[in-house]
Structure 1
Amino acid sequence: MDVKKFKYFTVSSLAFGTWRIGGGYWYASHDKDKEWISAIKRAIELGIRVIDTAEMYGNGHAEELVGEAIKGFNREEIFIVSKVWPSHADYDNVIKSAKNSFKRLNTYIDLYLLHAPSRVPICKTMKAFEKLVDEGIIRFFGLSNFDVEGIEKAKDCLSRYEIVAIQNHYSLLNREDERKTLVYAERNGLMYMAYTPLENGILAKNEFLANIGKKYGKTATQTALNWYICRNNLIPIVKASKISHVEENAGAMGWRLSEEDWRAIDEHFREKSYFLDKIVSTLKSMRPWS
């Protein structure tokens, strides 16, 4: 299996995302449960052992589907990531949310993240996270949609455990985090999880990536995902509901781009990402997290 080693754990180099599996923004949908469960199972079979979910996804139904899909597999070989919504970030609600996620998953959570910055003082959230580790509900914790300053503030609240991961939006077309957060994560040994790495299919259709991929017998999707995998501390999160797409994504593992091709991709997309970075930065400053 294609893996990456961090201070406290070893995980697969690719993660399976469950956003819009089991429903959407705080609403559940059951019409494709069998298809979704089959997709998660196939991902695990192919070596994608990091499963990313959240209480908000399908109003908890995504977690239920993950819990169902992992039955029959060796639990110790699967790394489940879930997230608490920012409006639940106070101490008591964090505990309640985590325990509810635990019940839906029918197992412990390997990595628990605060989904986004909250108006609740961060120390209250961190104290709850430490309590959850003590109780065995979660193993590790981290943050999502945070910058370096936010990570440092959270870090200062801790007395017994460490922040081990950060999950942010990062792609070849959105490279804002390269300025600080990605570098910070690498220097401090944090696992950096990149969501929306294919930019909702845009990179899957990219001719430049497709041409480089031909050298390796790989698609544009596989080439893009491998570019992320080549970064030491980065795990791309990619969602797929169709078995064929799961199998294509898994084909990004088990090989590596040459340094020459990696740099060619890096340089090709660097200028193209500039204006999108500006747009994303503006949108982030307007997010009404509550």
Structure 2
Amino acid sequence: MRDMKRIGNDRVTSIGLGTWGIGGKEFPDYSHDREAIEALRYGIELGINLIDTAEFYGAGHSEELVGEAIKPFDRDELFIVSKIWPTHFGYDSAIKAAKASAKRLGTYIDLYLLHWPGDSFEKIKQTLHALEDLVDEGIIRYIGVSNFDLELLRRSQEVMRRYEIVVNQVKYSLMDRTPEETGLLEYMKKEGMTLMAYTPLEKGILARNKCLEEIGKKYGKTAAQVALNYLIWEDNVVAIPKAIRKEHVKENAGAMGWRLSKEDRERARLCV
């Protein structure tokens, strides 16, 4: 079920596969690695081509799991996102970090993000310039940021020399509509920039919302699917829920291929 959005000149599925907690935080003994790999492969088999990870997740082990998961598939059909942690900001350290991530993944990185702003704009500037050189080298293909507010996003755009910032990954859900309230979403829409929404189900809280469940009955969908569809209703928004169980991967994929009516979308806002 393909439901596509643009990132740069590429097309990605509106729902991606998030990996926060996979390969580290939740299962530090690696006992669920095989389950995680199978869940990622299942998502790809369902047609999802967007996979999000980071060097910080599992101290790089999440990237290794993504690299293992994608081996049976056509790499060019997939869109892999990773992120650099602020402790690696700076020109030389950013080059080193990106190449280490690419090595763990076993492939180039489609989109590389600054994971958090850090505490120095000068370091952000150096890192963005390093990423531009990494694009020229073929290590990464696109540049983005994560957790940047509107002012910092604008400042970051101004220091770019040859390439554009194409994505800002931020927390966005029916329970946390900060991107709408601050004007960030509207600004990004005007700039042709994609907003990548993380924690879109608020760690399962929205999946258990009875009000969303009622709205979903009209569409033959679950509360979680309504919550995700609320986000991807916007032309420039993709969501990256994390799931390690196949039934949840399938449920998340089922948020694509349809849209809430405008009236039901407004109703969904009142559910939280």
Per the normalisation by structure 1, the TM-score is 0.89
Number of aligned positions between the proteins:
268
Work out which of the residue numbers 141, 146, 154 in structure 2 matches 1:152.
154
Q: Which amino acid aligns with 2:142?
A: F
Could you tell me how far apart the structure 2 residues matched to 1:42 and 1:101 are? Answer: 23
Q: Which residue of 1 aligns with 2:140?
A: 138
Contact 1:197–1:225 (CA under 8 A) maintained in structure 2: yes
Could you tell me how far apart the structure 2 residues matched to 1:129 and 1:23 are? Answer: 26
Q: Which residue of 1 aligns with 2:16?
A: 15
Secondary structure of 2:148's aligned partner: coil
Q: What whole-Å deviation, never above 9, does each CA across 1:202-229 have from its counterpart, x for those lacking one? A: 1001011000101111110111111111
Q: Which residue of 2 aligns with 1:123?
A: 125
Could you tell me how far apart the structure 2 residues matched to 1:152 and 1:257 are? Answer: 32
Going from structure 1 to structure 2, the CA distance change for 1:233 and 1:221 (only over 3 Å counts) comes to same
Q: Which residue of 2 aligns with 1:212?
A: 215
Q: What whole-Å deviation, never above 9, does each CA across 1:117-167 have from its counterpart, x for those lacking one? A: 123412101111101101100000111010111111111111110000000
Q: What whole-Å deviation, never above 9, does each CA across 1:95-128 have from its counterpart, x for those lacking one? A: 1110000000000000000000123412101111
Structure 2: gaps (5+ residues): none
Q: Which residue of 2 aligns with 1:231?
A: 234
Secondary structure of 2:102's aligned partner: helix
Identity %: 54
Secondary structure of 1:216's aligned partner: coil
Q: Which residue of 1 aligns with 2:32?
A: 32
Q: Which amino acid aligns with 1:174?
A: D
Does residue 197 of the first structure (1) align with residue 215 of the second (2)? no
Going from structure 1 to structure 2, the CA distance change for 1:34 and 1:7 (only over 3 Å counts) comes to closer
Shift of 1:259: 2.0
Q: Which amino acid aligns with 2:254?
A: G
The 4+ residue runs of structure 1 with deviation greater than 2 A are none
Structure 1: gaps (5+ residues): 273-290
Contact 1:2–1:253 (CA under 8 A) maintained in structure 2: yes
Q: Which residue of 2 aligns with 1:90?
A: 90
Relative to structure 2, which stretch is displaced further, 176-185 or 193-202? 176-185
Could you tell me how far apart the structure 2 residues matched to 1:256 and 1:175 are? Answer: 19
Could you tell me how far apart the structure 2 residues matched to 1:44 and 1:144 are? Answer: 24
Could you tell me how far apart the structure 2 residues matched to 1:40 and 1:7 are? Answer: 24
Secondary structure of 1:165's aligned partner: strand
Could you tell me how far apart the structure 2 residues matched to 1:78 and 1:18 are? Answer: 15
Could you tell me how far apart the structure 2 residues matched to 1:101 and 1:154 are? Answer: 23
Shift of 1:36: 0.5
Could you tell me how far apart the structure 2 residues matched to 1:176 and 1:222 are? Answer: 21
Q: Which residue of 2 aligns with 1:186?
A: 189
Contact 2:8–2:142 (CA under 8 A) maintained in structure 1: no
Shift of 1:28: 5.2
Could you tell me how far apart the structure 1 residues matched to 2:8 and 2:163 are? Answer: 13
Q: What whole-Å deviation, never above 9, does each CA across 1:178-224 have from its counterpart, x for those lacking one? A: 12211111110101001001111110010110001011111101111
Per the normalisation by structure 2, the TM-score is 0.95
